[in-house]
Amino acid sequence: MRVSFSTLACPDWAMPQIIAMAARECYDGIELRFVQGEDSLWKLPVFSGKELASTKRTLADHALTISCLDTSCRFHSPDAAERGRWIAEGQRMADLAAELGAPGLRVFGDTIQPGADRASTQSWIAESMRELAEITAARGVEIWIENHSDFAAAGETAAILEQAAPSKVGVVWDPVNSFVATEERPVDGAARLGIAIRHVHIKDLRHDRDGWKYVLTGEGVFPLLELKGALHDLRYDRFLSFEWEKKWHPEIADADIALPHFACWFRKNFA
């Protein structure tokens, strides 16, 4: 397995700082989510024209891969026009993914909307993923749905994949999402999703009187070694990506602490 980190940990950093951290801590890649506070990354100068060429050279000089390009695309809306707007955003992001050599584009399902039902929502998500995958296939970029929110359980995500085009789509598997939502164990999630898993998020957490809290890797209760065993049984050889959700949880440790800590923990316990 190769290891990367999501820039959700450092949402306001610019690319030089992100690359410097990845190189210093011996990461193999970077999962791009936010850069300089922006999630529509195609809007940033650093990802266009001469600056994009320079960014690509710097990544190559440090032997770094873009493991996944994350979007905010959500395909749960009953409104076809709204889903179409997200498909257009996905296409722009896929063009950038292709330029950066990222193999996949992360999208969401995500939440059953008021007045909608589960079956219809699954159908809208699958249809949108299939349409976007057909657009991006020529660029060599797959569409990967993250198990998240109302579709956090592995079985829920698998049901969407079955309606989409399985050969063109895959899963960003976040076993913590299903562990928190349904108490699903990593071994069960891995068995259900199997070869559809294209990218894996890893993090740790523990429960206190106020609910679940993210903690530094190895300091919580998530069954990390069970996850390791499940991935080993699948012969998983893609990226394991540390997702430290500093963007959404500003109270947790800064990236300067969490990213080196994870790199050290990974080398001791997971590599």
Nearest to 242 by CA among 199, 190, 188, 181: 199
Q: How many domains does the chain have?
A: 1
Alpha-carbon separation of residue 106 from 71, 109, 154, 162, 212 (angstroms): 6, 10, 16, 17, 24
- Degrees to nearest 5, angle at CA 262 with 259 and 264: 110
Q: Identify the pLDDT of residue 191.
A: 97
Q: What is the CATH number of the domain that holds 134?
A: 3.20.20.150
Alpha-carbon separation of residue 246 from 10, 11, 97, 98, 99 (angstroms): 7, 8, 23, 27, 27
Q: Which domain holds residue 47?
A: 2-269
Helix 80-100 crosses helix 118-136 at what angle (to 10 degrees)?
40
Residue ranges of the chain whose pLDDT lies below 50 = none
